[in-house]
Amino acid sequence: MMTKEIRVYGIVQGVGFRPFVHRLAEKYSLTGYVANKGAYVIIVVSGAEENLDTFRRELVAKAPERASVFRVEERETEAFAGGKFAIEESEADSGSRFVSPDIAICEACRKEMFDENDRRYLHPFINCTDCGPRLTILDEMPYDRERTSMRSFPMCPACSEEYHDRSSRRYDAQPIACHDCGPTVYLLGSAARGAAAIRALRRAICDGKIAAVKGIGGFHLCCDATNKAAVRLLRERKIRPSKPFAVMVRDMATAEREAELPKAVRAVLDGPEKPIVILRRREGGKIVAAVAPGSRRVGLLLPYTPLHFLLFDYPDGLSMPDALVMTSGNPPGAPICRTDEEARETLAPLADVILSHDRRIRVRADDSVTEVYDGGPYMIRRSRGYAPLPVALPMLEKSRDGVLAVGGELKNTFCLGQGGLFYPSAHIGDMGDARSVDCLRETVERMASLLAIEPHVVAYDPHPAYHTTSFAASLGLPAIAVQHHHAHIVSCMAENGRIDPVIGVAFDGTGYGTDGSVWGGELLLADSRSFTRIGSVEPFAQAGGERAAREGWRIALGLLQGEAVVEIALRLGLGDEEEIEAQRFLIANKINTVTSTSVGRLFDAVSAALGLCRVSTFEGEAAMRLQCAAEAWTSNGAVVKFPTLGLSEDGHIVLPTAALFSEIVNRRLSGASVSELAAVFHASLAGLIGSGCRAARDKTGVSTVALSGGVFQNTLLLRWVESNLRRDGFEILRHRLIPANDGGIALGQAVCAAARMMEKT
Ligand code: ZN
Ligand code: ZN
Ligand code: FE
């Protein structure tokens, strides 16, 4: 006999998890109980050891479809005295609230919706306890119809019966609705409602027009993804020349036609979160190249609301395309539109037709975006379907004061934390836009009240020009500054459940260094409270101010050495003579010039020097093209011969990236292929990171490495870095569900602040 206490973290509430545990325990003749603790489910089970083992395995392997177990903690405990296994009602642990993310429509509801004999035939708001909106319709906790957007829709007798019937799939399903009592869809600026509105929308899409459609967490702009003219029109109207659009495909078979879908990818693409998954395109697909110009990749997602399914299939005789562009309906950098007023103001000029509905969206949630790496999600934007699930750090359980972390400037998210649980928010936007700052303020208030966390301190990035810095100051709370790259590393540690010292490799575009220079290629010795900068890539001059961040040719010019700089720059096609001379003048006279260790800029420079991208039209474009070129080389299995470059070190470890750049340029001038050199650059950088970490280990005795920062969105680099580090016996911490980019730093800020507060008490 043995007794165990098991804590299960993840989506384990409102998804039938406790009845499942109950059945499983009875199957293996175990006694004990299961109870909700707010952010986790606690299970105490007694029985024969081998039965406990099987129970433990099946607990995760056979969990209900909509459950998603992120973490299981278990320990042996005192024997449990009691008869049968029971589901216990219990108080939530104080300070830890669980708000469910929105869940994609389930298979049972989808079938009913297309069943002519069902009373919810073609109802655009069908849902059940396994599926439907959650966070985005919530006014207040506890989660109850009265405190959601469904308050304005009193249940009809038939819905009420299902809602109160324990044997019904809709028992206690708060957003329950039907044709008689549920919300209605309608066209903005037209009298068309219900079926007529849906038909008009489908007609418009078929005709190559641009539509806006209200979804779960905001409006989408939508058009036929198999129609080149329609996609071009959307690009023109949205003034978005080449940034990729996500495409919603009708079903898995269509996804299969368009992209490579290994098993792990299918699981993520079709999971209850229904994120956008970045995939490798297949030859012969029907989605036009204009959705992602110059890229071998495409971001696909499956329909996740009843209305999406009705866009693809409706009994109106139209033959709809099976792939639709679905891009956030927002002005660039601003938050996604969620109300009719916002849609009228900002989407009406872009869309020929706007389909809305009267179920209010309370909290915005953009689509989440992920890659699949090593069999699981590797998040780029963590939003709908994931937010606001908490990250748990039990070692900080005793930090009782609420913490608010306001995040960074681009891809802003914020994070609330208390008692060792940290709740990263959905995507907000780029803080350069005043509407994003308003949205941040409003969403912080809403989430703080939903999660019952009253912030006692605010953590922020000390960059003087960040709008989040002034927002933090405006709150009138004690403020804790957390350096940008430290926040990246702590976010990575936190997602791996760690707070102890690591070697942090923080590579990104830009972050404010403690010496006032631009950092972005840092080796840190860090724990969750503090850090020392023990190394970096070789500093270079970044001239041209704001423009240097978009124009890789300017960085490349700054990195060129020797006599014949102008001639080389001309041969590489970095610019015309006038531009080159003007930029050289800026560099020589240190006008508008900062010292930088940004690896993001280094990628831009290499991309420009190889003729792949001289000027980026969206953030990360140059790096994306460089990665694509490198993958084209490695996918053929070609060997990558890269130079051996020694580190220089006098207390501070320096990765010789300038020498690496010269090597790439020299090989380019002597005729090596662009894709080979792109691969050489990736492999060399991975090699340098490996050497840097070995030097750091020699220096500090620490042999765990955390990899974070936007550069690690590059999965080719990540793979090679991981393989180098593994060979050298390092323990590696990397991201999974928290983005490596600036969308992840709020978590790091919050954890750092909580850890520092704990230290004080
Ligand atoms: Zn359902
Ligand atoms: Zn009803
Ligand atoms: Fe960053």
Q: DSSP of 283-329, one letter per residue?
A: TT-SS-GGGSTT-SEEEEE---SHHHHHHH--SSS----SEEEEEE-
pLDDT computed for residue 146 by the predictor: 81
* CA of 423 relative to ligand 1 center, distance in Å: 26
What gap in Å lies between CA 523 and CA 1, rounded to an integer?
Answer: 49
**Bigger pLDDT: 446 vs 172:** 446
Cβ(127)–Cβ(73) under 8 Å?
no
Residue 705 above 70 pLDDT?
yes
Shortest-distance ligand to the CA of residue 120: 2
Shortest-distance ligand to the CA of residue 168: 1
Average pLDDT over residues 221-237: 97
* CA of 248 relative to ligand 3 center, distance in Å: 29
pLDDT digits (tens, 9 = 90+) for 310-354: 999 999 999 999 999 999 999 888 899 999 999 999 999 999 999
Q: What class has domain 185-357? A: alpha beta
The three-state DSSP-derived secondary structure of 728-756 is CCCEEECCCCCCCCHHHHHHHHHHHHHHH
What gap in Å lies between CA 234 and CA 419, rounded to an integer?
Answer: 46
- 659 bridge partner residues: none
Q: How many CA atoms does the CB half-sphere of 41 hold within 13 Å?
A: 28
Residue 92 above 60 pLDDT?
no
* CA of 682 relative to ligand 3 center, distance in Å: 19
Q: How many CA atoms does the CB half-sphere of 155 hold within 13 Å?
A: 17
* CA of 102 relative to ligand 1 center, distance in Å: 12
pLDDT computed for residue 544 by the predictor: 86
Shortest-distance ligand to the CA of residue 709: 3
Cβ(324)–Cβ(299) under 8 Å?
no
What gap in Å lies between CA 385 and CA 392, rounded to an integer?
Answer: 18
Phi-psi bin for 627: left (phi > 0), alpha (psi -120 to 50), beta? alpha
pLDDT computed for residue 333 by the predictor: 80
Q: 643 falls in which pLDDT band (50, 70, 90)?
A: confident
Both tokens of residue 585? 């003048």
Shortest-distance ligand to the CA of residue 486: 3
| Element spanning 234, H or E | helix 228-238
Question: Crossing angle of helices 17-27/49-61, nearest 10°?
Answer: 150
Shortest-distance ligand to the CA of residue 123: 2
**Could you write out the DSSP letters of every residue in 28-60?**
TT-EEEEEE-SSEEEEEEEE-HHHHHHHHHHHH
Residue 485 above 80 pLDDT?
yes
Q: What class has domain 535-733? A: alpha beta
pLDDT computed for residue 167 by the predictor: 74
What gap in Å lies between CA 271 and CA 173, rounded to an integer?
Answer: 20
Residue 534 above 80 pLDDT?
yes
Shortest-distance ligand to the CA of residue 109: 1
DSSP state of 103: B
* CA of 729 relative to ligand 3 center, distance in Å: 27
3-state SS, residue 517: coil
3-state SS, residue 705: strand
pLDDT computed for residue 562 by the predictor: 77
The three-state DSSP-derived secondary structure of 639-650 is CCCCCCCCCEEC
Shortest-distance ligand to the CA of residue 110: 1
Burial class from Cβ neighbours inside 10 Å (0-12, 13-18, 19+) for residue 720 reads buried
Shortest-distance ligand to the CA of residue 157: 2
Cβ(459)–Cβ(404) under 8 Å?
yes
Domain 388-496+741-760 identical in fold to domain 535-733: yes
3-state SS, residue 433: coil
Give me the torsion for CA of 567, 572, 575, 578, rounded to 10°: 0
Shortest-distance ligand to the CA of residue 104: 1
Shortest-distance ligand to the CA of residue 740: 3
Both tokens of residue 286? 């029907």
* CA of 488 relative to ligand 3 center, distance in Å: 7
* CA of 468 relative to ligand 1 center, distance in Å: 39
Average pLDDT over residues 266-280: 95
Q: 95 falls in which pLDDT band (50, 70, 90)?
A: very low
* CA of 601 relative to ligand 1 center, distance in Å: 47
* CA of 22 relative to ligand 1 center, distance in Å: 22
Mean pLDDT of the chain: 92
* CA of 120 relative to ligand 1 center, distance in Å: 12
Average pLDDT over residues 718-737: 97
Cβ(386)–Cβ(242) under 8 Å?
no
What gap in Å lies between CA 542 and CA 561, rounded to an integer?
Answer: 15
Average pLDDT over residues 392-409: 93
* CA of 387 relative to ligand 2 center, distance in Å: 29
What amino acid is encoded at 604 in this protein? D
b/e map 618-638, b = 16+ CB within 10 Å: ebbbbbbbbbbbbbbbbeeee
Cβ(256)–Cβ(337) under 8 Å?
no
Shortest-distance ligand to the CA of residue 466: 3
Average pLDDT over residues 242-268: 96
Cβ(440)–Cβ(381) under 8 Å?
no
- Structural fold of domain 2-87: Alpha-Beta Plaits (3.30.70)
Shortest-distance ligand to the CA of residue 170: 1
What gap in Å lies between CA 118 and CA 120, rounded to an integer?
Answer: 5
pLDDT computed for residue 399 by the predictor: 87
Residue 83 above 80 pLDDT?
no
- Structural fold of domain 388-496+741-760: Nucleotidyltransferase; domain 5 (3.30.420)
| pTM metric for this prediction | 0.90
* CA of 484 relative to ligand 3 center, distance in Å: 6
- State the CB neighbour count (10 A cutoff) for residue 728: 14
pLDDT digits (tens, 9 = 90+) for 158-201: 999 998 886 788 877 889 999 999 999 999 999 999 999 999 99
Cβ(162)–Cβ(314) under 8 Å?
no
CA angle 242, 373, 639 (to 5 degrees): 85
pLDDT digits (tens, 9 = 90+) for 5-64: 999 877 676 666 777 888 899 899 999 998 877 667 889 999 999 999 999 999 999 987
3-state SS, residue 408: coil
> Which of 281-290, 401-410, 634-643, 745-754 has the least mean pLDDT?
634-643
Percent of the chain whose pLDDT exceeds 90: 78
Both tokens of residue 730? 């390092």
* CA of 131 relative to ligand 2 center, distance in Å: 17
* CA of 737 relative to ligand 3 center, distance in Å: 17
Cβ(113)–Cβ(126) under 8 Å?
yes
Cβ(690)–Cβ(655) under 8 Å?
no
Domain boundaries, the chain: 2-87, 185-357, 388-496+741-760, 535-733
Both tokens of residue 663? 């090597």
Residue 297 above 60 pLDDT?
yes
The sign of the dihedral angle between the CA atoms of 161, 165, 169, 173 is positive
**The total number of residues written for the chain in this structure:** 761
